Structure 1
Amino acid sequence: MDKQTVVVLFGGRSSEHSISSATAGGVLQAIDRERYEVIPVGITREGAFVLEEDSPAKFALDAAHLPEVVDNGSRVLWPEPGGTRSLRVVQADGSTVDHGGIDVVLPILHGTHGEDGTIQGYFDTLEVPYAGGGVLDSALCMDKHFMKVVLESAGITVSPWVTVRRADWEQDAESLRARIDQLGLPVFVKPARAGSSVGVSKVSEPDELDGALEVAFAEDDKVLVETGIIGREIEVAILDTVDGVRASLPGEIVLTSRGFYDFEGKYLGGDGVDVVCPADLTDAQRTEIQQIGIRAFQAVDGRGLARVDMFLTAAGDLIVNELNTMPGFTPISMFPKCWVASGLSYGDLISELIEAGLRR
């Protein structure tokens, strides 16, 4: 069987640039080289598409030195619609190299300009197949406000929240503060359109709110303040396969001494948090979590994959926190861990995503 050519796209202009780059290291290491030819393309922090080294070690996740895409002077020329789907690269010396036809792009991008529907719309315009979420589900799930609105309309329980826009806060903070007070304490303050817990704060005292909002506003002009739900943090991985939408065995984030599952705990091996999969659940709980995960995925017109995060309260209620259409995908992340626990290896999971993109 002829190999298919996959462009692994990573980096990007968002604050999650380094996590995307680290994910690329894991993907480049595990992708099935007997099945796929790989062309690594990085996006610099300034937005330039460059041909990168096919080197997993270069993009290894290191807490002391987070990986990144550095401008090497090359520029990627994407195929034009209706053409041969040939990928060309203008090298630093000005010469152009034709890398041949590409079959599919695997965009392992997090945050704005990558996980929000913009790059998906770009490839739709170019008529280039790609893996992962589409324009609508990516845009909806990137904006936590509209994601909650859609989930609520589908009858899925979400945590109570107040959306705060910077301009409204500057003009009438007191009325917003009164609405936030009704949520009780603690609350979580988070940017509406960011991920990897960037800009997120836990507020346990009223005088902490203003500072938390400023941290979140540094990432986005729209911020959510959410009721702090007391319950187990459960996550389930969703995959769009040839046999239909599947849900993995659920996993659990167990906080032992950390206040919440923050950036350090997710990616840098910080103490105080354990990522456990499969979670210790009854058969009934497991089935209900999987069903709600699939319902949430379908409610946002999900494509490709998602990780659905929810809380399981002591009363047995399940409250969906959010969906991630390109969840953390490093080998230590919950999404691949849940699929490994469900019988799908990291390498086979990558193949599933690529094949789903090719089926479109």
Structure 2
Amino acid sequence: MSKKNVLLLFGGSGTEHEVSVVSSKYIEKNLLEIGLYNVIKVEIGQPKSKDKNFYLVNADGSRGESVELNFKRELVGPSFKQEIHYVVPCIHGPPGETGEIQTYLDLISLPYLGCGPEASLISFNKVTSKLWFNALDIPNTPFEFLTNIEDAPKAHRLFDKHGKVFVKAASQGSSVGCYQVFKKDELENALRNAFKYSEYVLVEKMVEARELEISTYEFEGKIHASVPGEINCPSSFYSYEEKYDPNSKTTTEVVAPGLSPEVVEKMRGYAIKAFKALKLRHLSRIDFFYTKDGEIFLNEINTFPGATPISMFPKMMENNGHPYIKFIGDIIKKDIL
């Protein structure tokens, strides 16, 4: 039986291009260890540029010729042509977590790992996701959203009510375009900066809370939610640099200490409820705040969580009894057959 060809897409046009490169190496390692697939790597675009072309990655890791994925489900270039049976869109941010890639793959009937286009777009946009949480009665932090800078009075009223707020570009990942605002005279500048990254801006109450994460995923036909892991960030703001800088002082714990069974089960319940209601598929990392007063707030959903050496998603999944290699093997096997 000949091996199936798996296209591993990575990179993208967003601010998380470099992180996607690291995640792709971990996923490639697992795919090769399964031993059933030929892995074809394609990098989208270039870091910090508007380049959105597809580039074949050579065996030595160097960037090769420009290629396209056509309607015949073939990856083709000037001197390359290969049928594709499955796609792993290892892209953090656009055009992966925003649903563009998935829309095209659905159009040409090519199976892929991860959420569909609508679930991806809903989850990536911080405004629409919070509107969904409210509709589902899943607790989240009080917020306002702005469609332009003229909506700034709404942000000022929220600040007056709560004393400090987070300003977030609605459609960015890894804390890009996010600002802590402790003084009212800093609010306007934060709003203008956030609008540079997104057409919509979220302003939400800042809470003093533990940052907890849950791996929520499908395995052997069932949705699983791990026990919460924890992010311990000494700067109190889990910025892009804190997440990925090798000199970061942030630490992680695969199992968050000191949580009661009741809190754990309530949090896992919210995670599974969101996974089902938003029609997520295969995998997600669902993040929460847990305050000293015992309040639980769903913070955000990551539809293609990082798979770098320091990423929590595969660690929490493995602690839950499901190694990443078995998870990805189970999903692809069922989707390809």
Length-normalised TM-score, structure 1: 0.85
In 2, the alpha carbon distance for the partners of 1:220 and 1:97 equals 37
Q: Secondary structure at the match of 1:209?
A: helix
Shift of residue 328, structure 1, vs aligned partner: 1.8
Asked whether the equivalents of residues 168 and 203 of structure 2 are also in contact (C-alpha less than 8 Å), the reply is yes
Describe how 1:111-190 pairs up with structure 2 within 5 A.
111-166=93-148, 169=149, 171=150, 173=152, 175-190=153-168
- Aligned residues with identical type, % of pairs: 34
Asked whether the equivalents of residues 240 and 356 of structure 1 are also in contact (C-alpha less than 8 Å), the reply is no
In 2, the alpha carbon distance for the partners of 1:278 and 1:18 equals 28
Q: C-alpha deviations, 1:135-160, integer Å up to 9, x for none?
A: 11101011111111111111101111
In 1, the alpha carbon distance for the partners of 2:244 and 2:329 equals 23
Q: C-alpha deviations, 1:248-303, integer Å up to 9, x for none?
A: 22101112x21311111211234332111111122222222211111111121111
For 1:210, the aligned partner's letter is E
Alignment correspondent of 2:308: 330
Shift of residue 185, structure 1, vs aligned partner: 2.8
Asked whether the equivalents of residues 150 and 299 of structure 1 are also in contact (C-alpha less than 8 Å), the reply is no
CA 13–353 in structure 1, closer or farther in 2 if over 3 Å, else same? farther
Q: What's the Cα RMSD here?
A: 2.1
Q: C-alpha deviations, 1:12-43, integer Å up to 9, x for none?
A: 11121111112112222332251221000111
Shift of residue 111, structure 1, vs aligned partner: 1.3
Length-normalised TM-score, structure 2: 0.91
Asked whether the equivalents of residues 70 and 76 of structure 2 are also in contact (C-alpha less than 8 Å), the reply is no
For 1:162, the aligned partner's letter is E
Alignment correspondent of 1:52: 57
Describe how 1:1-360 pairs up with structure 2 within 5 A.
2-31=2-31, 32-45=33-46, 46-54=51-59, 72=64, 74-80=65-71, 83=72, 85=73, 87-91=74-78, 96-99=79-82, 101-166=83-148, 169=149, 171=150, 173=152, 175-255=153-233, 257-280=234-257, 281-355=259-333, 357-358=335-336
Shift of residue 353, structure 1, vs aligned partner: 4.6
In 2, the alpha carbon distance for the partners of 1:303 and 1:230 equals 31
Count of aligned pairs between the two proteins: 331
CA 341–54 in structure 1, closer or farther in 2 if over 3 Å, else same? farther
Q: Secondary structure at the match of 2:52?
A: coil
CA 24–172 in structure 1, closer or farther in 2 if over 3 Å, else same? closer
Q: Secondary structure at the match of 2:10?
A: strand
In 1, the alpha carbon distance for the partners of 2:204 and 2:114 equals 28
In 2, the alpha carbon distance for the partners of 1:143 and 1:127 equals 26
Q: C-alpha deviations, 1:193-231, integer Å up to 9, x for none?
A: 000111111112212212322332221121111111222
